[in-house]
Amino acid sequence: MHTIEIQDKLVAELAHRAKTPAARTALVEKDLRDFFAARDLEPQDRERLDHHATELNHEAEDVLGYQVISGVAVSTNP
């Protein structure tokens, strides 16, 4: 087991949301796992977006070409 320092307000909120020490530990462990997992996916997501960036940009330009603002058609094509 390891000990970390957490602000009193956060400890009070944690105790309010998870009533037992085991529940608090489980909540913190789950949230840390979720946090780390989300960070691990970012480079993969970035690679996917970069790989398809040109195609996505063309689709966005196409959609904007049909956009209507206040009843006036806006064209991005000259």
1 pLDDT band, cuts 50/70/90, is confident
Burial status of residue 14 (CB atoms within 10 A of its CB: 0-12, 13-18, 19 or more): middle
- Kindly state whether residue 34 falls inside one of the protein's structural domains: yes
Q: Is residue 49 part of a domain?
A: yes
Report the relative pairing of strands 68-69 and 72-73 from DSSP bridges. antiparallel
Q: How far is it, in rounded angstroms, from Cα 78 to Cα 76?
A: 7
Residue 52 lies in a domain: yes
User: For residue 38, is it within any domain?
Assistant: yes
The answer as to whether 1 is a domain residue is no
Contact 24, 14 (CB under 8 A): yes
What is the tens place of the pLDDT at every residue in 14-69? 999 999 999 999 999 999 998 888 777 666 777 888 889 889 888 888 888 776 66
Q: What domain range is 44 assigned to?
A: 8-73
Between CA 72 and CA 70 the distance in angstroms is 6
pTM above 0.85, yes or no: no
Evaluate whether residue 21 is within a structural domain: yes
Query: Considering the domain boundaries, does residue 47 fall inside one?
Result: yes
Structural domain count, the chain: 1
